[in-house]
Structure 1
Amino acid sequence: MRSARYRAANAARLGASVAAGLLLLFIGALALFGQLDDVTDSIGQSTRDQMAALGFRIEAVDVTGATAELATEAAAASGAVEGESIFAFDAARSRDSVEALPWVRRAQVARLWPNRVAVVVEPRTGFALWQYEGRISLIDRDGIVLTEADASAYPDLPLVVDAGANAAAAELIDTLGHHPAIAERVVAAVRVGDRRWNLRLDSGMDVKLPEDEAGAALALLAAMHAERGILRLEAESIDMREPGEMILRERSDRGDREA
């Protein structure tokens, strides 16, 4: 009996070895003839189809953070297909597709088991108006153009002008927010050579800020205005391009003003 058991065990081990060898040969043959990926994909698809039949399939895409019209666009961009196995849905790739929409600042995408996909978007919102080459555009905080705009439709948004002004606007506007006495007089901020700003005030005066330390220059200007009302003077410009200097140019010198 002991001998019979040994023979049975040996036969089982031999059978398993043969089966494993045949399986390896089969896999090797598939790889050799370039069919291994096809077989793997077929098995994976069959598994996904079976799971979908059990209820693990996409039945709805929930979009939050956007209007109904934009939610429809975000749902389409997500790539979620109704009836598709939820196991086949790639949330990371879907997020990248949604964030590629020009009006989306950030997005999150997740699978909600067993049959829903959630898309949460943070839309880009109007932050400023940008005038460049005769056109006025609504831009977001990152300087991304959202749409062409009529300036009269956005009376509360600041206006920035010229090349590079869109990308640099947020820093300047944030700094001006600390000096409301100046900010309330600024009608436009002109980017000069994409390296510094000229502030056009409602009086027609230009404040020429330096390339570096614009915040310090604005702080000095705010202090001088609080002490002496400098922004109420009849002057063509206040030149602050040199650190520690403030040069007032009278309106009579307007013909000599710099470009």
Structure 2
Amino acid sequence: MRQVNGNPRSSRDPAPSRLRYRLTRLWLRPSFRKFLNVGIPLSVGVLAAGTFLTQFDIRGEAYALFQKVHGIVVEQPQFMITEMAVPDVSEDLAEQIRVAAFVTLPASSLEVSVAAVRARIESLDAVERARVQLRSDGVLEIRAIERVPVVVWRTADNLQLLDATGVRVAEIDSRLRRPDLPLIVGAGADAQVPEAMLLLDALQPVAARVRGLLRVGERRWDVALDRGQVLRLPETDPQGALRRILDLNNGDQLLARDVQVVDMRNPDRPMIQISEHAISEIDRLKRMSLGEDA
């Protein structure tokens, strides 16, 4: 008969060790298993690829090859722009357009953005809108609609040419550069160019005497004539008030008389201011009628 050892410590303990228990618990976590199965192989692959590229400079060689192929393609004769055409505009504006286009010839059409060229040209004050076309004969054709100045606007700082909508066309250094255009003066006058043009059109019967339009308080207009005469127009319906003044001039030669100011700011109570000389003459005539001036 086999003798049984009575010492329990001599038999092996079936319970796992503390380290094995912790490793088992760690393995049961999904994030840990994902890290072992995916993270470590991916890290090793990235490290190996980086080492390979660094050692053999494949990235630099690939970029150099791309640059070489790109240069060969873009420099093909059929893609080259050799001339820039800017027809149907003034020579001054054509030169501004060539500079604004910012295209150094010869250039490859594959490297020129038509939209960017058009945007740069339309940013010019003198250009209303533009059309840019790459022609098959190697010509970059730019057709621009030029803004036409209709008035000279005198501000506190400079003289500007404005088109019929009040948009700035250019700046000039002297009124003598555009004596053919009417003059408007005052803050806010640029925003009222359409109304100013209507007034100037109504003033055609005395156009030779008109020196300019003055915007007063950004609310209304004064018309400056030669001989220092001023026509003060109301805020509302200035054209109607101007027609009344011109009707009086046609019938009674009002503006040919010694009148200094015709004030129509209140159309119901128009006022006329005569000159100092006229007042002196009236006083003299009164004294003569009373026998004071023999």
Which TM class, normalised by the smaller chain length? 0.5 to 0.7
Equivalent residue of 1:182, what SS?
Answer: helix
Residue deviations 1:105-163, cap 9 Å, x none? 43222222352211122344543333333x55141323526233333444333222222
Alignment-derived partner of residue 162 in structure 2: 140
Determine which structure has greater relative contact order: mean sequence separation of CA pairs < 8 Å that are 6+ residues apart, divided by chain length: 1
1:156–1:245 Cα change, 3 Å: farther
Distance in 1, matches of 2:257 and 2:206, equals 13
Alignment-derived partner of residue 187 in structure 1: 211
Q: Does 1:175 align with 2:193?
A: no
Alignment-derived partner of residue 256 in structure 2: 232
Residue deviations 1:64-88, cap 9 Å, x none? 2344454233123223343433244
1:253–1:109 Cα change, 3 Å: farther
Distance in 2, matches of 1:143 and 1:202, equals 28
- Contact (CA 8 Å) 1:58, 1:80: kept in 2 or not? no
Distance in 1, matches of 2:189 and 2:88, equals 29
**Larger Rg belongs to:** 2
Deviation at 1:172, TM superposition (A): 1.0
Deviation at 1:91, TM superposition (A): 2.2
Amino acid at match of 2:246: A
Deviation at 1:217, TM superposition (A): 1.9
Structure 1 unmatched runs, 5+: 1-38, 255-259
1:68–1:249 Cα change, 3 Å: closer
1:72–1:182 Cα change, 3 Å: closer
Deviation at 1:253, TM superposition (A): 11
- Contact (CA 8 Å) 1:49, 1:85: kept in 2 or not? no
Deviation at 1:56, TM superposition (A): 2.2
Deviation at 1:104, TM superposition (A): 3.0
- Scaled by the length of structure 1, the TM-score of the pair is 0.67
Equivalent residue of 2:133, what SS?
Answer: strand
Equivalent residue of 2:181, what SS?
Answer: coil
Equivalent residue of 2:228, what SS?
Answer: coil
Deviation at 1:244, TM superposition (A): 4.8
Alignment-derived partner of residue 102 in structure 2: 79
Identity of aligned residues (%): 25
Q: Does 1:150 align with 2:174?
A: yes
1:50–1:246 Cα change, 3 Å: same
> What are the equivalent positions in structure 2 for 1:1-259 lying under 5 Å apart?
50=73, 53=76, 55-68=78-91, 70-113=93-136, 115-133=138-156, 137-141=159-163, 142-144=166-168, 146-252=170-276
- Scaled by the length of structure 2, the TM-score of the pair is 0.60
- Contact (CA 8 Å) 1:176, 1:182: kept in 2 or not? no
Equivalent residue of 2:223, what SS?
Answer: strand
1:146–1:85 Cα change, 3 Å: same
Aligned residues: 214
1:223–1:129 Cα change, 3 Å: same
1:49–1:68 Cα change, 3 Å: farther
Distance in 2, matches of 1:59 and 1:119, equals 14
- Contact (CA 8 Å) 1:80, 1:117: kept in 2 or not? no
1:66–1:182 Cα change, 3 Å: same
Amino acid at match of 1:90: S
Deviation at 1:202, TM superposition (A): 1.0
- Contact (CA 8 Å) 1:57, 1:83: kept in 2 or not? yes
Residue deviations 1:50-69, cap 9 Å, x none? 36515022221111234445
